[in-house]
Structure 1
Amino acid sequence: MMNYIKRYLGIIWMLLALVAGYYLLVSQAIPQFESGKPDDLVPAIIYTFVLMPIISGGLFVFGWYAWKGEYDEA
């Protein structure tokens, strides 16, 4: 029973990765790119090319392994 819950939550983690990536890109990075201020360019680049891949990729890989059953107890 617990293994099925872990697999279901794996799908939830993968969806959360997509939502987190979308949020970082749309709500954080794009407005700073469009602001036109030089001070906003560095955080926008960090959000886009550093934080988004780490956060989204980590959540997605964790969810993928949970969905595939890597965390199942034998």
Structure 2
Amino acid sequence: MNTVKKYLGFVWILLAAAVAYYSIGIFGGKLTSGKQDDLVFGIIVFFILLPLIVTGLLLFGYYCITDEYEEDYD
């Protein structure tokens, strides 16, 4: 089970990189569209939600790789 957790840790880190890459590509266009509605939506997603999501996925993957979820109840 620990090997599965480590492999899934790498999956979470790769997922974080993919989310960051595609979100910058999609919502980067919203910041330069010239419409006020797109600008407000792009700022909220790009500067608030995207860092939270990517950081959460990266931390979860890091904890899986470093066996932080090991059951040690001594």
Larger proportion of helix: 1
Matches within 5 A, 1:23-62: 23-27=22-26, 29-62=27-60
CA RMSD of aligned residues (A): 1.1
The share of aligned pairs that are identical, in percent, is: 46
Tell me the TM-score normalised to structure 2 length: 0.89
Structure 1 unmatched runs, 5+? none
Structure 1 moving runs of 4+ over 6 Å: none
Aligned residues: 72
| SS at 1:31 equivalent | helix
Structure 2 unmatched runs, 5+? none
Question: Post-superposition shift, 1:34?
Answer: 1.8
